[in-house]
Amino acid sequence: MPANYHTHTPLCRHAEGSPEAFVDAAIAAGLSEYGISDHAPQIPEPFDDWRMLDAEMPDYLQWIEQARQHAAGRIPIRCGLECDWLDGCEPWIDTLASRHDWDYLIGSVHYLGDWDFDNPKWLGKWAASDVDEVWTRYWQTYSRMAESGLFDILGHPDLVKKFSHRPQGDLHRFYEPVIDAIASSGCAIELNTAGWHKPCAEAYPSPDFLELACSAGIPLVISSDAHSPAEVGRDISRAVETARIAGYRETLLFEKRRRGSEPL
């Protein structure tokens, strides 16, 4: 099984499980590497209620150290962060990047302006929105994140479909410009299995997007976005199959922000 680099810890306030339980699940699933990438702090604090605070960063590094000690060489433990892409965030991402010798940084778009559109708390806002407009804004934001070059991995590419809001017609009009932007940035994307368990009932990104990404030469990682030990290995083999159907034959590995690869 490939590496799984997108996983969380209880520090983000909406995940559960000990470092030992997460690592045991990773070993049981036969993953090649286990990476921890909890929701990064965001200023000004308190920013929202679903991430660690800046002052908790030492606890986060300690949590990872405990995972590494428990793994005791049985599986490599990598450490990263899932950072939020927000307007004007570049200096803060630089600050986060310099805080530790990370193996990788994941960039994710969860916010459009001050709206965390993937938060079920604000489903009412979706009901009052024009889906085409939200999608346009989402993909423009995603392209800017890719172009920033600040991240190794771009998270859950079409998260905007989470609650099954999809524009009419062929979605390639949204996909093509962002595929170009990602391909020129050199960033990897992830195939994130969490979407299979959300109202959209489809991994992020869609099979169509994945096929375009593969044709454009965009590298891939596979991840489950685990918020509990039970989710660590969930659907990874299904994702491997999905990635192979899209044309992928390898996934990336990261150590100290340098990349390697392993066959799929």
Which residues are near Fe ion by CB under 5 A?
82, 108, 225
Tell me the closest approach of the beta carbon of residue 134 to Zn ion, in angstroms: 19
Q: Distance between CA atoms of 88 and 13, rounded to whole angstroms? A: 26
Helix, strand or coil, per DSSP, at residue 103: coil
103 in contact with Zn ion (CB under 5 A) = no
Q: Which is nearer to Fe ion, 52 or 215 (CB)?
A: 52
155 in contact with Zn ion (CB under 5 A) = yes
Tell me the closest approach of the beta carbon of residue 10 to Fe ion, in angstroms: 13
Instruction: Give the HSE-up count for residue 100: Cα atoms under 13 Å, Cβ half-sphere.
Output: 21
Q: Which is nearer to Zn ion, 92 or 132 (CB)?
A: 92
Q: Which is nearer to Fe ion, 108 or 251 (CB)?
A: 108
Residue 210: is it exposed, middle or buried by C-beta count within 10 angstroms (0-12/13-18/19+)?
Answer: buried
38 in contact with Zn ion (CB under 5 A) = no
Tokens 């060489």: give the residue: 73
User: How crowded is residue 173: how many other Cβ atoms within 10 Å of its Cβ?
Assistant: 13
Q: Distance between CA atoms of 132 and 240, rounded to whole angstroms? A: 31
Tell me the closest approach of the beta carbon of residue 118 to Zn ion, in angstroms: 9
195 in contact with Zn ion (CB under 5 A) = no
DSSP state of 13: S
Q: Which is nearer to Fe ion, 108 or 242 (CB)?
A: 108
Tell me the closest approach of the beta carbon of residue 38 to Fe ion, in angstroms: 8
Between β-strands 188-192 and 115-116, what pairing exists: parallel, antiparallel or unpaired? unpaired
Q: Which one of residues 24, 84, 152, 225 is an interface residue with Zn ion (CB under 5 A)?
A: 225
Q: What residue type is assigned to position 109 of the chain?
A: V
19 in contact with Zn ion (CB under 5 A) = no
Tell me the closest approach of the beta carbon of residue 38 to Zn ion, in angstroms: 8
Q: For 72-113, where are the alpha helices, taking DSSP H only?
A: 90-98
- Interacting residue ranges for Zn ion, rule: CB under 5 A: 155, 225
